[in-house]
Chain A
């Protein structure tokens, strides 16, 4: 199994509070991704990174920011959490673009915003 660790695994927070989710990999893969999974929507890309300090937006990036200061860590921040951001968040890594290499996923973070 690919070495991907997401923390925390579960979090409950209140509307308006900042939240940071962490993804840590031990595989030295270049690409890292943050997805959210909601019923009826499958997985939707929030942000992705193609190298240290190189990030780009996905299809549902509003309300989220990311940072990648080291190859192994990719942080997802909700600056001011809203109830619509209640979801399961998955981090994924790959050695190359999804067209060339498959993605490996972490086990997910269940986030509840009350």
Chain B
């Protein structure tokens, strides 16, 4: 039973357009959320995070939105660049301060 779900295994976006990656969670007690990015043959790297006391956090081209009532968060990348092609993982913090990860979404940026 996955507590963090990324329902889109892959997403293809034109270069320069907006990429929107979605993540749903089931546990209303989760109060801290993160996005990691992973290139092939490399480990994941931290991208951006958000606490439940906020509904938006922005870092350059990356913005994460949190909708607590819907238990949904999304990552927006604007504008999308070829180097953004990677697998994106959503993760949330459980009550033991450990991360629960989604299955990932593979983002493909088309030139």
Chain A positions within 8 Å of B, measured between CB atoms, are: 4, 39-45, 48, 58-59, 90, 92, 97-99, 102-108
A41 shortest CB reach to chain B, Å: 6
B13 interface residue, CB < 8 Å from A?
no
A102 to B32, CA, bound (A): 12
In the complex, A42→B41 CA distance in Å?
A: 15
What are 22 residue pairs bridging A and B, where the CB atoms are less than 8 Å apart in the complex? Answer: A40-B103, A42-B101, A42-B102, A42-B103, A42-B104, A43-B99, A43-B101, A45-B98, A45-B99, A59-B98, A90-B43, A90-B44, A97-B97, A98-B93, A98-B97, A102-B34, A102-B46, A104-B45, A105-B44, A106-B43, A107-B41, A108-B41
Decide: A58 and B46 in contact? CB cutoff 8 A.
no
**Known contacts A42-B104, A43-B101: A99-B43 contact under CB 8 Å:** no
B43 touches A92 (CB 8 A): yes
The distance from the CB of B87 to the nearest CB of chain A, in whole angstroms, is 10
Q: In whole angstroms, what is the CA distance A108 to B46 when docked?
A: 16
A106 to B44, CA, bound (A): 8
Chain A's closest residue to B104 (CB) is A42
Name B4's closest neighbour in chain A (CB-CB). Answer: A42
B98 to chain A, nearest CB (A): 6
Given A40-B103, A107-B41, the answer on whether A99 and B97 have CB atoms closer than 8 Å is yes
Q: How far is the CB of A66 from chain B (nearest CB, A)?
A: 15
Q: How far is the CB of A15 from chain B (nearest CB, A)?
A: 26
| Bound form: Cα–Cα A39–B101 in Å | 12
Which B32-60 residues have a C-beta within 8 angstroms of A? 32, 34, 41-46, 49
Closest B residue to A100 using CB positions = B97
Q: Restricting to B66-111, which residues have a CB under 8 Å from any CB of A?
A: 89, 91, 93, 97-99, 101-104
Give the chain A neighbours of B43 by CB distance below 8 A: 4, 90, 92, 104-108
Nearest opposing residue in chain B for A58, CB measure: B98
Residue of B44, B93, B104 with highest tally of chain A CB at under 10 A: B44
User: Is the Cβ of B41 less than 8 Å from the Cβ of A98?
Assistant: no
Instruction: Using known A-B contacts A102-B34, A107-B42, determine if residue A41 contacts B103 with beta carbons closer than 8 Å.
Output: yes
